[in-house]
């Protein structure tokens, strides 16, 4: 169920789901736990979302919309800016990120509104790569570069959120600079 114009109870339920996903992870989300965490009746999550998949779809739709909006705001600033905006989105919306790419939680084919937002966000990155490599670029080169940029941004995001990166490299005095440097390295591979 889309959250374009959620009623306040939907928002409370989604926020409770995001808090759980951000903390212990989305696998801990149950309808009963959502009701308890949101301080609503046990039936409220079912009434508004049907089941867990409906809640995950709402999280995906909202997360991809936010990501797309943030990337759109950095459009025409280059792939480096898009990579940075992706990582910043992930760090600021960890609950969303932990759900958005889990096909076992949300089958996009069953939730077209979520799929539209996911396609929009990906399209922004794809179009920026096309603009950088040129309209006459080989399709495989565009696909490869787009996948590479997405992989770098997503990989860095998950390593910072859930992975051992900081345990391995030590504390980072300037996280923004680390993100900028990695984004710059990734975008420089385009070679334009």
Domains in the chain and their CATH numbers?
A: 8-188 (1.10.357.10)
- Exposed, middle or buried by CB within 10 Å (0-12, 13-18, 19+), for 173? exposed
Show the DSSP H helices in 74-174 as ranges.
79-92, 94-100, 112-133, 139-161, 165-169
Q: Does residue 178 contact residue 83 with C-beta atoms inside 8 Å? A: no
Q: Which residues lie below 8 Å from residue 170, measured CB to CB, with a gap of 6+?
A: none
- In tens, the pLDDT along 75-125 reads 878 788 889 999 999 999 999 999 999 999 999 999 999 999 999 999 998
> pTM of the entire structure?
0.90
Average pLDDT over residues 2-13: 75
Q: What percent of the chain has pLDDT over 70?
A: 95
Residue 139, pLDDT > 50, answer: yes
Average pLDDT over residues 170-177: 84
pLDDT of residue 5: 56
Q: For the chain, give the mean pLDDT.
A: 90
């Amino acid at each position: 169920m889309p959250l374009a114009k959620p009623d306040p109870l939907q928002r409370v339920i989604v926020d409770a789901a995001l808090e759980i996903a951000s903390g212990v992870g989305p696998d801990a989300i149950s309808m009963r736990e959502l009701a308890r965490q949101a301080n609503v009746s046990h039936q409220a999550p079912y009434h508004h979302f049907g089941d867990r998949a409906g809640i995950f779809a709402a999280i995906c739709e909202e997360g991809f919309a936010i990501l797309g909006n943030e990337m759109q705001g950095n459009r025409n600033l280059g792939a480096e800016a898009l990579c940075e905006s992706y990582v910043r989105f992930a760090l600021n919306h960890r609950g969303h990120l932990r759900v958005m790419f889990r096909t076992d939680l949300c089958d996009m084919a069953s939730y077209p509104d979520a799929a539209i937002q996911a396609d929009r966000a990906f399209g922004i990155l794809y179009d920026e790569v096309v603009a950088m490599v040129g309209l006459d670029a080989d399709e495989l080169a565009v696909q490869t570069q787009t996948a590479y940029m997405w992989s770098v941004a997503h990989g860095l995001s998950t390593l910072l959120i859930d992975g051992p990166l900081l345990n391995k490299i030590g504390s980072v005095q300037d996280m923004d600079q680390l993100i900028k440097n990695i984004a710059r390295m990734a975008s420089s591979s385009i070679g334009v």
